Amino acid sequence: DFHDELKNTTAGYASFDISDADPPHQEANLSKVDIMLNGDIVDPLAFVCHKDDAQAQARVVCKKLHEVLPRQQFVTVIQAKADGKIVASERIKAYRKNVLVTGGSKSVGGGDITRKKKLLEKQKKGKKRQQTSGKVSLSQAAFNSVISRS
């Protein structure tokens, strides 16, 4: 019996009271909202809310992540998914670094423009490869500020 077990473990100090809910429990139209960083679902940030509020709440979380997460060498996409649809999205721009300018105002020598274009194309390929393999880490401070939602 649960009541006897409760009294035994708490040396008689605990009590347990059951009453019917007033008003009685009702069915609600809820949906689970998943937060994704670069296509990877971040489970600790997932939450359940009413379907009518899902988009607004997801937008708030995405905006907060946009403010908190640092910029990377690649574009970071923050998305919120509810009921299989993307309901909110934010993008953190990548750092821009032009390979033609090496340090300060020095630029890669003069000469043929095709050489410069070749270097820019090479940089573009590297950025694309980094985009596909890059992982975004969520720091504890960023996680706590998103959870607080203030």
Average pLDDT, integer, range 8-23: 78
Element (H, E) at 141: helix 140-148
Using one digit for the tens of pLDDT, what is the confidence trace for 36-72? Answer: 998 889 888 999 999 999 999 999 999 999 998 888 8
In the chain, the largest separation of any two C-alpha atoms, in whole Å, equals 90
**Which residues have CB under 8 Å from 47's CB, separation 6+?**
32, 33, 57, 61
Residue pair 65/35 in contact by the 8 Å Cβ criterion: yes
Tokens of 51: 């379907």
One-character DSSP codes across 10-68: TTT---------SSPP----EEEEEEEETTEEEEEEEEEEETTTHHHHHHHHHHHHHHH
**Helix/strand number for the chain, H first, E second:** 4, 4
Specify the pTM.
Answer: 0.66
Percentage of the residues of the chain whose pLDDT score is greater than 70 = 87
Using one digit for the tens of pLDDT, what is the confidence trace for 89-110? Answer: 999 988 776 666 655 555 666 6
Around Cβ 37, how many Cβ atoms within 10 Å?
19
